[in-house]
Amino acid sequence: MPVGPKKLFKFIFKILILLLLGGLLYYYRAPLMTWLTPYSNRFLTNLNYRIEELTPCQQPITLSLGDLDPQFNLSELQLTTAINQATEIWSQPFGKPLFNLVATSGAVTINLVYDNRQETTDKLKKLGIDVGNDQQAYEQLKTKYDTLNQKYLSQKDALKNLITDYDAQRAAYNSEVNRWNKKGGAPDNIFAQLAKTKSALESQLAMINDRTNQVNLLIQDLNTEGTALNRLISELNLNVNKYNTVGGAVGSEFEEGVYIQDAAGRRINVYEFSDSKQLVRLLAHEFGHALNLDHSSGTTDIMYYLNEAGNDTLTANDLVALQKHCKVTK
């Protein structure tokens, strides 16, 4: 069939439009990629997660370091050591690596987030107090707080008396000076005595300032302990509530750290730990959530909702939950 000139023109026009579009896409490829990358990354992350869901524990979950607040005073080496210890808690009994720490773009990023939780822990550490996360820790801290509060109240009273005393002596001195001034000046012996009183008043004032500083420091310590106490109160209540809610949200209870999975990706935020042992256990717990495990009821389970037992190995409960999730048949 012969091709008419009109049809040929239309064909050439279409080719030109396609060439133009292709050229534009090529020309703007760099900004287009920057614009598309987050979407494609999210797509890949989701895809990886779906694959992981379909074939759990077949491929190690990749981990990488995210934002590490320097205020934790934890070197990257110390953190990676803790991470490796925590992953071994799961991988070793399973007999196969479940996690793999990679340099960048892991499926799960690990962040150290410094906020008032760690700040309070650090301040309490300086006061020689190590705070756990249970009723017993609360009772201990409450006792310390009450003792400190008693000390504060008695020092405050003593200071108040000192100030009253000082004010009275100073008023007496001032009226004596005024009286002699009106008379046109004091005789030498009186003048010498007044000068002595004046310097005594000055040293009293210096002492009062000193004591005031001490009381202020006590107030600061009291505030630190009070903050920790309030937090424990709310956490213990919170945990009790969460514990009673069967099948509650995964990962939001362990106030020292949290595992989050949302549109922004999968991540573990560490907020607080008092030593490396607690950090390893905390990480192991959050890794359990990353494996999709829920809380269990044994108080020494890694997946127990509180980080209060000292064991750094899986319990029978933990292992059963892991094998069930990984569809291991025995």
Place of tokens 């037992």: 309
Min dist. Cβ of residue 293 to Zn ion (A)? 9
Min dist. Cβ of residue 240 to Zn ion (A)? 15
Q: Note whether 271 binds Zn ion by CB under 5 A.
A: no
* Interacting span for Zn ion (CB under 5 A) from 25-33, 50-58, 79-87, 248-256: 248-256
Q: How would DSSP label each residue in 14-62?
A: HHHHHHHHHHHHHHTHHHHHHHHHHHHHHHHHHHHHHHHHHSTTSSPEE
**3-state DSSP assignment of residue 257:** strand
Min dist. Cβ of residue 254 to Zn ion (A)? 4
* CA angle (135 as vertex; 132, 140 as ends), nearest 5: 70
Min dist. Cβ of residue 286 to Zn ion (A)? 7
Q: Note whether 90 binds Zn ion by CB under 5 A.
A: no
Nearer to Zn ion, 138 or 254 (CB): 254
Q: Comparing C-alpha atoms, which of 122, 131, 118 is closest to residue 229?
A: 131
CA torsion through residues 80, 82, 86, 92, sign? positive
Q: Note whether 72 binds Zn ion by CB under 5 A.
A: no
C-alpha–C-alpha distance, residues 11 and 38, integer Å: 37
- Count residues binding Zn ion (CB under 5 A): 1
Nearer to Zn ion, 63 or 282 (CB): 282
Task: Spell out the long-range contacts of 246-250 with Cβ–Cβ below 8 A and sequence spacing 24 or more.
Answer: 247/294, 250/289, 250/294
Min dist. Cβ of residue 253 to Zn ion (A)? 5
- Using the rule CB under 5 A, which residue among 72, 90, 99, 254 binds Zn ion? 254
Within 10 A of 160 (CB to CB), how many other CB atoms are there? 11
Nearer to Zn ion, 149 or 239 (CB): 239
* Residue with the shortest CB distance to Zn ion: 254
Min dist. Cβ of residue 321 to Zn ion (A)? 13
* Interacting span for Zn ion (CB under 5 A) from 30-38, 49-57, 168-176, 253-261: 253-261
**Helices and strands (DSSP H and E) totals, the chain:** 8, 5
Nearer to Zn ion, 72 or 254 (CB): 254
* Footprint of Zn ion (CB under 5 A): 254
